Structure 1
Amino acid sequence: MDEKKLIEQKIFNDTSQYNDIMDVPYTHPKRHLPMEQLDRAAQFAPFGALEGFNGLIQEKTKDYTRKKYSTQEQEQLIDRQIAYLKKHPELLVDVNYFNDESGYYEHLKGTYTDQDIEKGRVKFNDVSVVQVNIREIKLVGK
């Protein structure tokens, strides 16, 4: 049985405190018309957007288990290397970075093209990489 059903059983199993009102017939309000079924469902639609969100977070977390987070010194080294590559964009480099999509480290060979500081991304050839995901930059040649 799933977790939701177990919680429902714990909460709603004991209905003895409601025995005095269980058999009272429902009386419709005189001032208001009954709400349409579609309108009633629309009230709870925003909560429906959260359905399955927990599973998505767990799936993404599984992708990040292989990521090794950089120290401050490693990040400063990457910053200095990128600053150097800005002055020498003709240099061919091998970039080892964590790919958010695949959940694995990948290598990219190319030349420095651009850096978007606001978005925290560095572009090598046509590939944009998140700067904090860069683990190592090696010089390959010209």
Structure 2
Amino acid sequence: MGWDHAAEEHKYDDIRMLVHHRSRVHPPMSLWDRAAQFSPFAALSGHEDAIRETARLTTERAELSESRKEELNEQLVWLREHPDARERVTVTYFRPDAKKAGGAYVTVTGAVKKIDEYEKTLWMEDGTVIAIEELSAVEIPGKDRYEEE
């Protein structure tokens, strides 16, 4: 009772040379759609997104020294007193991540529109609102020029 190779080779000889049927009504399926029928079923939907999210790196917020906080405060006071110097300020701040612990340090350059002492926020002209407690650096180009005047 072995496997009969000869019988297996000639199993479909009777239909091999027949012309393949083509519908006159339905267009043939594209190779892309045909391949999609055999793609693996995604039993764990969202699993790849979860893995990608876990792999995404975040940075921990650095704790600023008291002297650095004081320096930042002095720069904000100076900016409040010199509104004409607000045109081109570079601000680096910590943006907490919405989905996981940590965040990223972001640097923006532009005009400071408003310093809100009550809300403790810095409003940039492009619409960016920065919590003052998240600031890590404020660079004011040409600050010396304003102090000489």
Which TM-score applies when normalising by structure 1?
A: 0.49
The higher radius of gyration belongs to 2
Higher helix share: 1
Which TM-score applies when normalising by structure 2?
A: 0.47
